[in-house]
Structures are given as structure tokens and as C-alpha cells.
Structure 1
Amino acid sequence: MKTIKGPAIFLAQFLGDELPFDNLAHLAAWAKGLGYEGIQVPADPRLIDLEKAATSDAYCDELRRTVSDAGVCITELSTHLQGQLVAVHPAYDALFDGFAAPHVRGNPAARTEWAIAQMKYAAAASRRLGLSAHVSFSGALAWPYFYPWPQRPAGLVEEAFAELAARWRPILDAFDEAGVDVCYELHPGEDLHDGVTFERFLKAVGNHPRANILFDPSHYVLQQLDYLAFIDIYHERIKAFHVKDAEFRPSGRQGVYGGYSGWVERAGRFRSLGDGQIDFKAIFSKMAQYDFPGWAVLEWECALKHPEDGAREGAVFIRDHIIRVAERAFDDFAGSGANREQLRGVLGIGEKS
């Protein structure tokens, strides 16, 4: 059995212009000061030059030294924004264009090719950094049609997933060559947002061994999906873990869809660790049971609490929930030590005289 590594923290929500949130060295030292052992690094040019990391061992050695000098390590790289741009429905072109490099904005075809190239850089960079998992979004072509009204034309969803798979297959092959798993965060707004859609995609990419899951239970609470049963079903594909809390409090006025409300007013909203409804004791128990090989990474998103308070409390919360697994069975002391002949005798199947 494996003990989960952690605590670690995803840096995306903390990156900013002021100290200590302005660069990788400062953020790494800040995270260590809060008690974190690892950092999940978004592929933001303020933190990492992804193309340079894909091609230069010297640059990757420099990155490792930077975080090691602070007392932490890189757990995974994240390309959520680049992954989103692998597949964008035209309804979202304007809203997602800002995620892309300036030279491809306003050109959806060029933007897609740029995103695919970025993902391939991420595969090579992860390998050079000695990482085994990578976290991202799938992007979405079918999301505007998730509710079946107006009636979807026959074959629409299948065609969307065939195209999504065609775009991702060469990326997954690049990650396979690098020896790194792609862990999709199953997230509303993405075509991969629950178990059914992940299975659709997995089938479309021929059960590709590098198509895996970033488990984040907060998104399942907001969908009213059984997040514990999810682990039982998909544990072999869960290769990354965001520790993020949430709550769902429906009323006579709104439920899962939220009525276009802002985050504070929604029935389902993200909360800081311990402030929501998620049973993390059960989650960490299942992760230990199934030998989850990775890190427990805080992703802070909360409608109410200050991010620095959430980060400070999150390190303690994760550390207190990590289960140091047993090295032997609890009842070993009572072992009989019987040999095969004695066992057969106990069963009444010994040789007759």
C-alpha cells in the first residue's frame, strides 16, 4: 500500500503581481512557509517557459533548483487553459480567445494548432522535469448541447467526441512517448465532465493508456454525482487529485443549474477545505485503499474566504487527512503460521490413513 504524498498546492489561483506571488521562487518559498511539500505549476509564462522546458535539460535543472532551494518540489505541470483551447465551440470563441497567445487570437484554426503544440511541449517538459502525471482540461465541442432541448440531431454527440478524440490522440501519443499520464479534470463546461463522458472519450481514443483522470470531488458535488462510488469505479484511471471542498444547498428557487447566479448566491458553490460538505475522511481512505500513487494538491477556490487563509488552513487540513498506510495487517500478531499440511487438516481434507 502507498501513502499519499502531500500536502501540495496548485499555484494558479495565487499568481499575481505583488510579492510573494509574482514569480516561481517567491511562490515556492511562500508555499513552504505554509507547510506545503509540493507545488503544482500552471504553464503560465510568468512561472515557466513551456517551450524552453520542452527542449532544454539545463533550463529544467534550473527550475528544479529554484523550487528545491525553497524546500519544495514540482508535483505536476498544469495546462488547463491550453487544454481548453484544443476544442472550443464557436459560441465561446470570444470568451476563450484571451487564453491564447496574442498572435493566434481571432483565428480559431490557428488557436487550436497552437494549443495542440503547447500540449506536446507540456509532455516533453514533464518528462525533462521527471514528472509522471500532467493535469489539464479537455476542451468542449458538445457542451452547448448538454441539455437535450432543443432535441439533439442523431449522431451529434458521437461526431463531437470523434472530433475531440482526433484532436487529442496525437497529444496522448506524445505523452505516451514521454511516459507521462494526461489527467483530465472532469469539469462542467468541458466535454469530459463526469464518468459517462470520460467513458465516451476513452472509447473514442481506443482506451489510450495515457488518458486518465484528475479527481476533484467539488465538481461532483455540484453535479450531485456520488464521488465515493466514482473512486470505486475509476480508481485505476485516477492519477492526480485536487483537494477542493464544495457545498450544495438547493432551495425552492434554484438547484443544480444555479439560475445564472454569481458564486456567492448559487445553491452549489466551492468552499475552502473543511467549510463544505465533502467527506474527505472517506475520500482519503479510498485513495489509500486503492494505492493512489500521487499527490494531494489543494486547489483553493472559495466564494467567501480569503485565499491566503484558505491556503494556510489547507496545508494543515491535508496533512491531517493523509493516511500513513500500515506496513502489516493489524491482526498479524494472531497469525497461526500453519503449514499446508496443517491447513488441509483444519479443512478436513488431509490424507486418509
Structure 2
Amino acid sequence: MTAIKGPAIFLAQFAGDEAPFDTLTGMAEWAAGLGYKGIQVPTGPSLFDLEKAAESQEYCDNIKADCEKAGVQITELSTHLQGQLVAVHPAYDELFDGFAPEEVRGNPDARTKWAVNQLKCAAKASQRLGLKSHATFSGALMWHLVYPWPQRPPGLVEQGFKELASRWLPILDAFEEAGVDVCYELHPGEDLHDGISFEQFLDAVDHHPRANILYDPSHFVLQQLDYLDFIDRYHDRIKAFHVKDAEFNPTGRAGVYGGYQDWVNRPGRFRSLGDGQVDFRGIFSKLTQYGFDGWAVLEWECCLKDSAQGAAEGAPFIADHIIQRAGKAFDDFAGAQSSESRNRRILGLKD
């Protein structure tokens, strides 16, 4: 029977300049030592070179073998930073330029072309690694319009999604050719940040089969969205899963928008697993009910707890929540063979 795989961990928040966090092999060994079975890998020349991976099966085979030797599998590659740069409103140019290589900074058109190529390389690299899903962001042309003041002109949102779709359709087609799902993390700051915005994007890309969701309940807690109902509505498009906790404690001074406060002082903030308000029992139950068989990947982001403690606690937490799907109904022992004639008798009908 299908079951959620895990535990796994997203490496982005742990990568650094000192061993073991300065190499992919070092981080793979570190993760395995904590009890993780999988790693979600951020992409960049220092850890995983997408352009080289797209060109070289040997490069991918060697990385895959090194990770497996360390005791983990690669669950997905991540292009969150590159995906963000597929669509950037000019107001954010300077802030997001730091996500791009120096040669395209200050040149939005060149930066976008670089990002699109990175995503296409990610499709091929994922195929070479034998992966089925890919984690990314959508980017945003309309985030500055999220609150309708001043009024949005009629047709503006539709035009925004049309432009976003035109940038993503060639990428989605590349992932279709590779046989890999693009999983957008629905996230404030992205044009794809909740169910409705995802639906609008789906319409704009003609419901492309590779346009899917990375489910992360923490972002829905901060938006005050029903994250369990979300699974009921969109389970057929959920192809990746970040296990991340959060809490929302509004006051008379601040709510969803947070008053420009630092994370530790915001009413909505991310927490280590088990320290927040997310109903993970409910989430794992619903994902199991709908047959999700992807990886449960810890994304650690906490404004209070040290990362080493959060990582150490994450693997057993996830393992404790994974449900081994039942192979038969609990009341099968009371069943009996049946036939149409017997069913008719039970219903009070004549043979």
C-alpha cells in the first residue's frame, strides 16, 4: 500500500561555509546521522550545479551515489530563488538582485532569462536523477496589489496571470518532457499564495498537468486559511510536502500583516515542529486518505529555537506522524460472501 515517505529535510536553511554544511556530501551524512532518509536539495554551484547536471548524466549519477552512500535519497531539487526571479516587479528589483549571479544583476531582462534557463535545467537534472517532483516559487508581478487600495483596474489581475503564464508555460513544457511535476510553494510574496490564486494560474496555463503544489501548512496558518480543507480541495495537485510549524496569536496591536515587526514579535511566526499550532495529525491523516505517496520534508524555520535542536527533533517527529495505510478494513472479519440474489433478499426484494 502507498504511504508517505520520510522523514526528509530541506537543506537550504542549514547550508553554510563550514563543514559539514559546505558540501552536499557533508550535509547528506549529517542528515543521515540525525535519522533522515531523504534530502531536498537547494541548487547553486556550491551544492548542486544545475547547468552541469542538465548536461551530464555522470555528474548526476555521482551525486546520487554519494548521497545514497551517505544514507539518504534526494527527494526533490529546489529552485525557490530562481523561480522567484522568473517574475519580479520593478519595485523589488534591487532586493531580489542578490538571488542572481553578478553578471545579470541590474539587468531585469537578463536576470529573467537566466532564471528561466535555470528552471529548464532543473527539469533535465531532475529527470537524470530519476525524480518525480520539483520545488519552486512562482515569482510575482502583482504582490504589490494584494490589498485592493487603490482599486485595481478591471482586467488587471487577469492580465497579470496571463503574463505570468507566458513565462511559465515553456518551463512547464520542459518539465512535461522530463516527466517531472513543478510544485509551487504557495507563499506570501508570490503571485501563487493561496488556493484562489493557484486556480487563476491554472486557468491561465490551461490546467497544465505539470502545474502542481508544494503543500506547506505554515504559510496558511499565517494567512488564516483552512489548511485541512485545502487538502480536500486540491489533493489531486499536491505533489510535494513541507512539514513546517507555525502559530498565529493576534493582539489588539497587530494581526496578519504584523506591523513591520521582526519575526519574533509578529503575531504570525514560524516555529519548530511541535512548538506551533499546526494539526499535523490531521494533515498526515488527510494526505494518507487521498493516497499522497511523496516525501514529508522538514523545512526548519523558527525564530526561537536553535537550528541544530530543530533539525534533531524533526526526524522523530515526522516518523511518528507517518501513517502506514491499512491493507484491509478493520471490520473485514465480520464480512460475508455476497451475491446479487443475496443482496436482493437483504433489501427485501424477490429473486
Output the CA distance in 1 between the equivalents of 2:156 and 2:100. 27
Output the CA distance in 2 between the equivalents of 1:2 and 1:321. 15
Report the counterpart of residue 230 of structure 1 in structure 2.
Answer: 230
Report the counterpart of residue 131 of structure 1 in structure 2.
Answer: 131
Report the counterpart of residue 263 of structure 1 in structure 2.
Answer: 263
Output the CA distance in 2 between the equivalents of 1:81 and 1:231. 26
Helix, strand or coil at the partner of 1:206: coil
Report the counterpart of residue 251 of structure 1 in structure 2.
Answer: 251
1:47 aligns with 2:76: no
Deviations 1:28-76 (A, max 9, x none): 0000000000000011211111011111111111011110110100000
Report the counterpart of residue 3 of structure 1 in structure 2.
Answer: 3
Report the counterpart of residue 329 of structure 1 in structure 2.
Answer: 329
Deviations 1:247-268 (A, max 9, x none): 0000010000000000000000
Report the counterpart of residue 279 of structure 1 in structure 2.
Answer: 279
Q: Percent identity?
A: 70
Output the CA distance in 1 between the equivalents of 2:206 and 2:161. 12
Report the counterpart of residue 161 of structure 2 in structure 1.
Answer: 161
Written as runs of structure 1 = structure 2, the 5 A alignment for 1:22-101 is 22-101=22-101
User: RMSD between aligned alpha carbons?
Assistant: 0.8
Output the CA distance in 2 between the equivalents of 1:266 and 1:91. 24
Output the CA distance in 2 between the equivalents of 1:55 and 1:171. 17
Deviation at 1:341, TM superposition (A): 2.2
Output the CA distance in 2 between the equivalents of 1:290 and 1:153. 40
User: Aligned letter for 2:32?
Assistant: K
Deviations 1:225-282 (A, max 9, x none): 0000000000000000000000000001000000000000000000000000000000
Output the CA distance in 2 between the equivalents of 1:20 and 1:283. 33
Output the CA distance in 2 between the equivalents of 1:303 and 1:10. 17
1:315 aligns with 2:328: no
Deviations 1:81-105 (A, max 9, x none): 0000000000000000011121111
Helix, strand or coil at the partner of 2:304: coil
Output the CA distance in 1 between the equivalents of 2:278 and 2:350. 53
Written as runs of structure 1 = structure 2, the 5 A alignment for 1:97-116 is 97-116=97-116
Output the CA distance in 2 between the equivalents of 1:282 and 1:112. 39
Output the CA distance in 2 between the equivalents of 1:46 and 1:303. 26
Output the CA distance in 2 between the equivalents of 1:334 and 1:45. 60
Deviations 1:82-137 (A, max 9, x none): 00000000000000001112111110001001100000000000000000000000
Output the CA distance in 1 between the equivalents of 2:52 and 2:19. 25
Deviation at 1:339, TM superposition (A): 2.5
Moved more, 144-153 or 202-211: 144-153
Written as runs of structure 1 = structure 2, the 5 A alignment for 1:192-231 is 192-231=192-231
State the aligned residue count.
351
Helix, strand or coil at the partner of 1:154: coil
Report the counterpart of residue 345 of structure 2 in structure 1.
Answer: 345
TM-score by length of 2: 0.99
User: Aligned letter for 1:231?
Assistant: I
Output the CA distance in 2 between the equivalents of 1:347 and 1:315. 51
Helix, strand or coil at the partner of 2:270: strand
Report the counterpart of residue 176 of structure 1 in structure 2.
Answer: 176
Output the CA distance in 2 between the equivalents of 1:151 and 1:66. 54
Deviation at 1:345, TM superposition (A): 1.9
Output the CA distance in 2 between the equivalents of 1:57 and 1:108. 32
Moved more, 217-226 or 56-65: 56-65
Ranges in structure 2 where 5+ consecutive residues have no aligned partner: none
TM-score by length of 1: 0.98
Deviation at 1:349, TM superposition (A): 2.6
Deviation at 1:344, TM superposition (A): 2.0
User: Aligned letter for 2:123?
Assistant: A
Output the CA distance in 1 between the equivalents of 2:344 and 2:134. 50
Output the CA distance in 1 between the equivalents of 2:9 and 2:140. 26
1:188 aligns with 2:193: no
Output the CA distance in 1 between the equivalents of 2:95 and 2:284. 36
Output the CA distance in 2 between the equivalents of 1:298 and 1:258. 25
User: Aligned letter for 1:168?
Assistant: W
Output the CA distance in 1 between the equivalents of 2:139 and 2:23. 27
Deviations 1:145-171 (A, max 9, x none): 110111112221111111000000000
Output the CA distance in 2 between the equivalents of 1:294 and 1:230. 17
